[in-house]
Every structure is written in C-alpha cells, then in structure tokens.
Chains A and B, each alone.
Chain A
Amino acid sequence: MSRPRIGWAVALVAILAAWQAWVRLRSVPDYLLPAPTDIAAALRDDRGRLASDGAQTAWEMLAGFAAAVAFGLVSAAALHFSATLRRAVYPLLVASQSVPVVAVAPVLVIYLGFGLAPKIAIVALVCFFPVTVNALDGLRSVDPEYLRVMRTLRASRLATFRRVELPWALPAVFSGARVAASYAAVAALFAEYAGGSAGLGETMQTATAQLDAPLVGAAVVVLAALALALFAAVSALERLAIPWARRAA
C-alpha cells in the first residue's frame, strides 16, 4: 500500500498561505503584490476574457507544437538518411539556437503580419530544435547488432527504418517532445508580446500597463495551467504509445 503522493499539494497550500499572510499583515498594495485571493477574484471576475485569451494562446501553443513535431521528425529522418545533409545542415541547426527568439519574433511579425501565423511560426521555431535533435540522436543510437540482424532477415533500408530505427528512436522523440512542450507556453507569450491583438500575452501587457497586478497574476495562472496540460498530454500519449519503453529498459 502506497499513500497517494500529496506532498506537492501540502507545499503549495503552505506557500499560498504564507504569501496571503505576508500581503495582508504588511498591507502590501495589490498593484505591487496581489494576494492569492486577489488573483482568485480576478480569475473569477475576468473569466470570460481569460477564457477567450487562453483559448487563443492554447491554439497557438498546440498548432506550433504540432508543426514542430511534424517538421522535427521529417528533418531528423532526412538528416539520418543523408550523411551529406547531416554534415551540411546539422552545424547550422545547432548554431541557429544561439539566435534568440526575442530577436527573430519581430522579423516574423513583419513577414507574416499580426495574425495567428507568426505566433504559430514562433512557437514551432522554438519547439523544433529539441524534437529534431532528440529524434536524430535516437535514430543514430540504434544498436548496430540490430541493424546487422535485420540485414540477414531480408530487410530493405526502409523496412529497417520502419521496424527498428523508428521504434527504437521513439523514447528519445518523446523526451524531445516533452522539452518542446514545456517551451511552448513561453514561446507563445513571446510571440504575443512581439505583436499580438489577443491572447494571454496581450492581456498581460495591457494589465501591466494599467497596474492591474491581479489580472496579470490570473493570466499567469491560466498560462501555467496550459503549459502543464500540454506537458501532461504528451506524457500521457507517451505512456499509451510506447508502454514497452518503461518495461524493456
């Protein structure tokens, strides 16, 4: 019998209680530091706005993340199959990571306008790297004994890819996807800062300008919830898709 792990919940309640006590006892004004109850009130009062902004941001995260996984897998496979391509492109790919998204975001807004497209592109850009690099590492780490055996078992290059290399790489693909999922929320926020007319990032900017700290806090709570949800969804998908990965190790 194992007790359900509630340690984190106890810690969270303790932190919130201490925070609440600090704000109330020191009479900190809510534009400096809102109490948890102020944020809760903002969550309730502005739920309509937060819901539509949250939906907008969630959509950007999801679409960008999905695009990154799709492009990442295809790129990793291409880099895996072609040594020439790998030598030519891989160093550039790594180097590209030193260009901060903050610098690229405004450029993309100029190219793609203020709509949804630049946001999805920015999220995809940020999420692309961990997916690609992990997938490529996974594909390249296949035990060479497996490749030898497959050659004697009538396997074509494609059959080996499908039946050995791809499944072998899936655990690595999922760890890349989990990292990417945790970047998606921040990336979407950046994208909205760079030029947005909707979304949680835009709300946070306006609320900050109006010194509406409770609303900023409420937006942060919604964003955190979205980030956690995406991460949990990827983890759940991983357990469903590759149950063998935890057993075979």
Chain B
Amino acid sequence: MSEIVVVDATKAYGDVAVLGGVSLAVPAGGTVGLVGRSGCGKSTLLRLIAGLETPDGGRVAVAGAEDERGRLERCALMPQADLLMPWRDALGNASVPLENAGVPRGEARSRAAGLFAELGLAGFERARSWELSGGMRQRVAFARTLLAEKPVLLLDEPFGALDAITRAEMQEWLAGAMRALPRTTVLVTHDIDEALRLCDRVVVLTARPGSVACELDGGGSADRARERAVETLR
C-alpha cells in the first residue's frame, strides 16, 4: 500500500504557478527520489507532503491522512541548510524532537547517543555546530530528523551545500544509514546520479510549473535510467 499519495497537486504563490498537477505514490518503506531543475517546485512538493502547506488543488495524503495536522504527525523534514542550533551541542541538537515530545532531557540525550554511534558520530556528542564539518553537521541534522520518530522522512537536498568529495562520502553513508534504519523516504535532489544511487524509484519533474516528466527505476538499471533522465531534462 502506498504510504504517500499525491494526486494532481497544484500550488501557486501569487501569480507564480509552482506545481502544475503532480501525482506520485510512495509505497511504505520505499525510497523515491525527486529530481528536477532548481525552481521546479521540488521543495514545495516536499512541504506539501510534510503538512507545512496545503495544495491549492488536488490531494496529498500520508498514511491516509489528508489534513495538515495528520501529515505533520507522520512526516519529518530535513531541510537543505542543516539548521543546527548553535546554542546546543551536537547531541542536544539531535535530541530536540525527543524533548519536544516530552522526553526528559537526560533520557533524550542518552537515546540520541545510541543513534550517534550508529551514524558514525561517536565522539562528537559535545561538539558545537561551528566545530563540525559540513558533512558532520548534515549527519547530526539527519539524526535529529530520525529522532522525530516519524514513519516518513523528507530529505530536501541534504547534500546540496557540500563539496563533491564530501558529497560522495555522504551518499555512501546515507545509503548505509537507510539500509540500517529503513523508512519511507522522499529525497529531493538536482543530482540524477545521487537519486538513482540512493532510491528505488526516481520521479523526474519538468521545469516550473512542475509536473511529472517520467518515472525511472533506481538501483541496478542506473546507467540506462540515467540516460533516459538526461534525455528527458534536455
């Protein structure tokens, strides 16, 4: 059964139509990549799914919930900028969602510490955001997103701000993390290779107003799929 269902969703900001009727479905536990040019509405679509915004037309449902509140309860969003809080250390940043959910601070920190080890962050618990490299900051932000303990992860260009080498490392790392801690995931990126490497399926969006140009299989058929995607975007 599909955990995320988007049917003919449209969204405009003022006169600018950002999404022009997008439909997609993500099965529970599945990983879908959203690829498209900058400004084609990828982030908007993610915010619609997350329940941060409401579509002007069409339907967006997460595990059957169509209202904003219901979607918010089921989705955790990881934004492009890590948005770590400099007034908290790394572990404190990751444990924010637990504290928000009412878990006492000490317990929240120890639960986050367990995940830190799993995500290769051991030893950086007390580091402040300015002491961490870009890749480490993204890992902490990812840990924070996981600790929201939602069934759906929405990742908005998580590696967009990283240099090429770090980016490649982080893709490896994320692939591992997603295998170890499977969730229903939507990954927004403008990097086709990244989407094909990390996702079961890749949805290519047209330029603004965005709609679905084609859908591709990720994983094994990567090379063939890549050619088709490049062809479509041309």
Q: Which residues of A contact B (CB under 8 A)?
A: 143, 145-146, 148-156, 159, 163-164, 167, 170, 242, 244-245, 247-248
Contact = CB atoms under 8 A, between A and B. Distances in A.
Interface of B: 47, 50-52, 72, 75-77, 79, 81, 83, 85-87, 96-97, 99-101, 128-130, 144-145, 148, 150, 154
Contacts of A152: 50-52, 72, 75-77, 148, 150, 154
Secondary structure at chain A's binding surface: helix, strand, loop or mixed? helix
B82 to A, nearest CB: 10
A244 B101 contact: no
A244 B87 contact: yes
Contact of B77 (A143, A148, A159): A148
B79 A153 contact: no
Nearest to A244: B86
B43 to A, nearest CB: 11
B156 to A, nearest CB: 10
Contacts of A145: 79, 81, 83
Nearest to A248: B86
25 contacts: A143-B83, A145-B79, A145-B81, A148-B77, A149-B79, A150-B100, A151-B52, A151-B72, A152-B72, A152-B76, A152-B148, A152-B150, A152-B154, A153-B97, A153-B148, A154-B148, A155-B96, A163-B99, A163-B100, A167-B85, A167-B87, A170-B87, A244-B130, A247-B130, A248-B130
A241 to B, nearest CB: 10
B87 A242 contact: yes
A148 B148 contact: no
The residue in A155, A156, A245 that gathers the most chain B C-beta atoms within 10 A of its C-beta is A155
Given A150-B100, A154-B97, A163 B85 contact: yes
A61 to B, nearest CB: 29
A163 B84 CA distance: 12
Given A152-B72, A248-B129, A159 B100 contact: yes
